[in-house]
Structure 1
Amino acid sequence: MRLATRVWGDGPRTAVLVHGIMTDSRSWARVAPAIAGRGYRVVAVDLPGHGASGPAGTYTPAALAADLLETLPPAPDLAIGHSLGSAALLLAVPALRCARAVHCDPAWLPRRRDLDALRAAKHATWREVRAAHPGWHDDDITAEHQALAVWDPASVTALRHLPGLPDVPSVPSLVLLAGPSERIPPAEATALSRRGWRVRTVDGAGHTVHRDDPAGFLRGLRGWL
């Protein structure tokens, strides 16, 4: 499936961005211009069932990875994925042939989740989104509320098929965690470090690190941009 994309900048290098569940490519608006300012053409996708991309018949990280490979420019200099987007990116990286990858608080490990409650979030009001994310800019709240309006709640089924903790990275890879992270607990973070993953934490940031603390997110990318 060919996905809708959003582009910032026209630099000689290429960075690709993959958002998490229930949002869309606008979730990167707070940090994408800064990445573009480092000499990148930044290409962000709308995953199936999100943003301007249509719904899909099957929602699994493997299916999402196939859609990324159909859509994204090959061999980008940098690939960044958040949450479920990171799970899809993890599977796509070997064929995508990116030079380096960043996984932001990745949804790799299965968790006990109330999927019906996640589906119900589609109907959240602007004020409810604001209450859930008190540190976000108002523009991010509005973008998230608009994203929920077009989001396909069936996509939560992808969370039943997460890939698990990966082994050795296939390309130089950074795992940038919330501080503290509920997705990658300390023991698993240590295991990743031993397997060759670079692990950093943005202290005080929640799961959506790039919206909770855009400056902290960009500091966490030092040496990777």
Structure 2
Amino acid sequence: MWGSGPRTAVLVHGIMTDSRTWKRVAPAVADHGYRVIAADLRGHGASARGETYTPAAMAADLLESLPPAPDLAIGHSLGSAALLLAMDGLSCARAVHCDPAWVSRPRDLAALRAVKHATWQEVRAVHPRWDDDEITAEHRALATWDPNSVTALLHLPGLPAAPAVPSLVLLAGPSERIPPVAAATLRSRGWHTRTVDGAGHTVHRDDPVGFLHGLSGWL
């Protein structure tokens, strides 16, 4: 947890990592007057492994573990899919979905599971923009990650209709998850979209400054 402000923000990470993914940006969010709480999805970090891995099951976990009615909810990738499905019960005031994994696309699940055994050097090669502390945190996250959770990617919710609350979709630049046509569809349905140019899928770690700038007006 970061901060002790009068408002509450909840953060939900993506697949393969854990709540430590937010450590470079969470203090800045807290500085806007928030108590910031980061969840660990099932099969990740300090959370227990699950018999079933779907975004819906992860959404149910969030509703059990997160405080009700937060002022702000931010989800990344698979965490955004879980957050999307939890919105009605969570009753947050506004939401930010960071390069969300909403739409299914061809994936080699065996290759994704194999990332479990990546060395520190291999993680570094994939994420050249991260500092060494970030690489170490990600490598440690892999040690507690259940690779069976990749099956959740087979059950993504699809491109949503109108948002339940004011919502921003903050995209990588360019985004493989939400390409321009899909982004235009979201805008037509009432979603706000912004792009952090040059950032990869893990926007908040690839470009923390750009990520926070993208949240201007939403914190």
Structure 1 length as normaliser, TM-score?
Answer: 0.97
The reply on whether 1:50 has 2:65 as its aligned counterpart is no
What is the correspondence of 1:54-93 to structure 2 with a 5 Å cutoff?
Answer: 54-93=48-87
Question: Structure 1 counterpart of 2:79, which letter?
Answer: G
State how far apart, in whole Å, the 2-side matches of 1:144 and 1:117 are: 17
CA deviations over 1:3-57 (Å, ceiling 9, x no partner): xxxx111110000000000000000001000001111000001111100111011
CA deviations over 1:68-102 (Å, ceiling 9, x no partner): 00000000000000000000000001110000000
What does residue 123 of structure 1 align with?
117
State how far apart, in whole Å, the 2-side matches of 1:34 and 1:212 are: 16
What does residue 156 of structure 2 align with?
162
What does residue 210 of structure 1 align with?
204
What does residue 38 of structure 1 align with?
32
Question: Structure 2 counterpart of 1:69, which letter?
Answer: L
- Shift of residue 181 of structure 1? 0.0
State how far apart, in whole Å, the 1-side matches of 2:31 and 2:193 are: 25
What does residue 135 of structure 2 align with?
141
CA deviations over 1:103-132 (Å, ceiling 9, x no partner): 000000001000000000000000000000
State how far apart, in whole Å, the 1-side matches of 2:106 and 2:153 are: 10
What is the correspondence of 1:169-184 to structure 2 with a 5 Å cutoff?
Answer: 169-184=163-178
Aligned pairs, number? 219
CA deviations over 1:140-163 (Å, ceiling 9, x no partner): 100000000110000000000000
State how far apart, in whole Å, the 2-side matches of 1:213 and 1:37 are: 19
Q: Name the Cα RMSD after superposition.
A: 0.4
State how far apart, in whole Å, the 1-side matches of 2:52 and 2:11 are: 22
State how far apart, in whole Å, the 1-side matches of 2:186 and 2:131 are: 32
Structure 2 length as normaliser, TM-score?
Answer: 1.00
Question: Structure 1 counterpart of 2:55, which letter?
Answer: P
Question: Structure 2 counterpart of 1:80, which letter?
Answer: I
State how far apart, in whole Å, the 2-side matches of 1:63 and 1:150 are: 19
Question: Structure 2 counterpart of 1:154, which letter?
Answer: N
Aligned identity (percent) is 78
The reply on whether 1:27 has 2:21 as its aligned counterpart is yes
2:189 to 185, 189, 195: 195
Secondary structure of the equivalent of 2:161?
coil
Gaps of 5+ in 1: 1-6
Question: Structure 1 counterpart of 2:24, which letter?
Answer: R
State how far apart, in whole Å, the 1-side matches of 2:131 and 2:10 are: 23
- Shift of residue 193 of structure 1? 0.4
Regions of 4+ moved over 6 Å = none
The reply on whether 1:106 has 2:100 as its aligned counterpart is yes
The reply on whether 1:220 has 2:218 as its aligned counterpart is no
